[in-house]
Amino acid sequence: MAKVKSKKGATPVDEKFGFPLKRTNYMIISAGVALLIIGYIFMAIPDDPDAFLTRTLAPVILVISFLVVIPVGLLYREKKKA
């Protein structure tokens, strides 16, 4: 456990470690993983390598998943109630 000084500075306060990721984070990350799977499936489906799914849609889905959805899932925090 971490010992943290209170605001008054006199006595240390024990603070329990809380895991930073909550259920909402896992839901967003799982949506990102689902998008990755869909993107790779779209990339593998067509026989023609110049098809729309292979050359356009699949890379866009993969980039959005890797660069937007998964990082948002890792960095998202719920607002504290007042």
- The predicted pLDDT at position 13 comes to 60
Residue 65 inside a domain? The answer is yes
Both tokens of 56, joined, read: 């356009």
Do 61 and 37 form a contact (C-beta atoms < 8 A)?
Answer: no
Residue 62 inside a domain? The answer is yes
Residue 41 inside a domain? The answer is yes
Residue 40 inside a domain? The answer is yes
d(CA 81, CA 55): 46
Element (H, E) at 37: helix 23-44
How many domains are contained in the chain? 1
Residue 4 inside a domain? The answer is no
pTM, 2 dp:
0.73
Residue 31 inside a domain? The answer is yes
Element (H, E) at 62: helix 58-64
pLDDT tens digits along 8-38: 655 566 678 888 899 999 999 999 999 999 9
Both tokens of 5, joined, read: 């000084």
SS3 15: strand
- The predicted pLDDT at position 1 comes to 56
Structural domain containing residue 31: 20-82
Residue 8 inside a domain? The answer is no
- The predicted pLDDT at position 8 comes to 61
